[in-house]
Structure 1
Amino acid sequence: MVHGEKPQTHRIDMNTPSVARMYDALLGGVTNYEVDRDACNRLLRIAPSTQLLARNNRAFLRRVVRTLVVKHGVRQFLDHGSGLPTLENVHEVAQQLDDTCRVAYVDNDPMVHAFGRTTLDENDNTLVINADMRHSAEIFKATEEFFDWTKPICGLFVSVLHCLPDRDDDLDPGAMLKRVAEEFPPGSFLVICQLVSDDPDVRDGVTRLMEEETGGRWGRVRRREEVRAYFTDNELSIMDPGLVDVVDWNPDTPVPPPELRATDWVEWGGVARL
């Protein structure tokens, strides 16, 4: 199912890099343009581990979905800022374990929406929503008949919060997370991670580059304590192993030793239960 068809917004800008298409390029996908690949090359000059982190993040997403389905009985997932379809999308991972799992994908990138209609919207248990992830009321309304709101839902905010700027209104990332936590049924989960760095040159350099490349459609590389505040400010109960580099979140393969870890920035976060 597709929600929020807005033909006037479906203009794909092939001259300005898109965060979704850049991420696709970093994952080795083909749904991107030269302008996106060029932007990735400039990003890699500031933060050389970026491509590795993108792949680590995707593996983390798969592990989280499998863990929540198998160990916690979650059958409903709301993927905020889902990005372009790739291998082992959320509904494919979840429905391989239980075909009754329901997955709603939310994104406002026109190319994501175009590909989502043909790739993600493949059965009655998937829903593609064309919306800004911060527009919670619109998303809740779109899913009120799709989800059973008396049962747990997992809200996925995986590698997307750095795309959102800090604000003094209800579009602030923290305010968005608070709304979701308040609306979700008891026993639900939030998965939150974003790119962080201890190096101010990396934080400022990447933020400035992405702000310029994407025409302002970017947020900010943050510090670990700022991401931790998303959990503590909303009184979320963090699951083991806590907030970590995502490669250390319940790994299913040997993790890299310290000397092979990224030193410029990392994907950092965890899973919380409401």
Structure 2
Amino acid sequence: MIGEAPGGVDVHTANSARIYDYMLGGKDNFAADREAAERIVRVFPESRDGVRGNREFLGKVVRHLAGEIGIRQFLDIGAGLPTRDNVHQVAHSVDPAARTVYVDNDPVVCVHGRALLAKTSTVAMVNGDVRKPEDIHAKVSQTGLIDWNRPVGLLMVAMLHFVDEPHEHVARLREMVAPGSYLAITHLTTTGERGDDTERLRQIYSRTNTPVLPRSTEEINLFFGDFELLDTSHFIPPHLIRRFASLGWGGVARKR
């Protein structure tokens, strides 16, 4: 997107998906996004590494679920702009028939995603909002790619901290997936020692399209409900957890 902007795109307001893209070294961003990203880096110098660590975490989770557990369908909510090592690409490295549906509530992200994924029959992108789980269920069902009666890898990576009061909506999505499904979440955290920096981060995001809402690890744990949390140490290397710890927390859990 660097250069001429597509019609209808507000290039003057920073966008969380495009900030994330810039942090990953992508080109689907504008000056406002890059300026916001650099302000974030000044507050949290480790944030660029954290974003890349988050992406690595996602890839390792998908590879584990596809390769070791045998999950063959993935639902990525709050997917953002397609970038490197996308969920479907990682899943396809295990089984080319694995199916992925991406969900995002940004219409521009969805248009861009559909254009890039148009020739991949096992992948779809739908416009949906985590605050409307029934709508997500209906739209995902229409793609014909997700069988709700079989286990699914439900992914909410680096997105719930952009949603106010999402616990009941996540609970509804947990109800929708079949036993044997897995839920993976990463989320920005609040820590006492970084309280001032976190507040400055809030201020930066307050001028974007999506204010940020970091939460405590206790609050984040509630998103998993009665799902059984996994010991991720055998597929997420300790150095990756350490890199991510100053900014956020992530986990994976199984529906019994």
TM-score (norm 1): 0.84
Aligned sequence identity (%): 36
Is the partner of 1:104 in helix, strand or coil?
strand
The equivalent residue for 1:225 is: 218
Contact kept, 8 Å, 2:99 with 2:122, in 1: the verdict is yes
Change (3 A) 1:29 1:182: same
Distance (Å, rounded) in 2 between the aligned partners of 1:219 and 1:44:
15
The equivalent residue for 2:3 is: none
Query: How many angstroms does 1:262 deviate by?
Result: 6.8
Distance (Å, rounded) in 2 between the aligned partners of 1:205 and 1:79:
29
Structure 2's unaligned 5+ residue stretches are 1-6
Code of the aligned partner of 2:43 = I
Code of the aligned partner of 1:255 = H
Query: Alignment partner for residue 230 of structure 2, among 230, 239, 259?
Result: 239
Distance (Å, rounded) in 2 between the aligned partners of 1:257 and 1:95:
25
Code of the aligned partner of 1:214 = T
The equivalent residue for 1:163 is: 162
Superposition map of 1:143-162 within 5 A: 143-144=140-141, 145-162=144-161
Contact kept, 8 Å, 2:130 with 2:170, in 1: the verdict is no
**Structure 1 consecutive aligned stretches of length 4 or more whose deviation exceeds 4 Å:** none
The equivalent residue for 2:248 is: 267
Is the partner of 1:106 in helix, strand or coil?
strand
Superposition map of 1:11-90 within 5 A: 11-90=8-87
Query: How many angstroms does 1:256 deviate by?
Result: 6.6
Distance (Å, rounded) in 1 between the aligned partners of 2:115 and 2:202:
33
Structure 1's unaligned 5+ residue stretches are 1-9, 167-172, 242-247
Contact kept, 8 Å, 1:152 with 1:186, in 2: the verdict is yes
Superposition map of 1:75-224 within 5 A: 75-144=72-141, 145-166=144-165, 173-198=166-191, 199-211=194-206, 213-215=207-209, 217-224=210-217
Query: In angstroms, what is the RMSD of aligned CA positions?
Result: 2.0
Q: Deviations over 1:71-128 (max 9, x none)?
A: 1110010000101111111111101211111100001223311220121333221111
The equivalent residue for 1:169 is: none
Distance (Å, rounded) in 2 between the aligned partners of 1:220 and 1:75:
32
Change (3 A) 1:249 1:20: farther
Q: Deviations over 1:226-247 (max 9, x none)?
A: 212222xx21210113xxxxxx
Query: Alignment partner for residue 235 of structure 2, among 225, 229, 250?
Result: 250
Is the partner of 1:204 in helix, strand or coil?
helix
Which structure's residues are more often helix, by fraction? Answer: 2
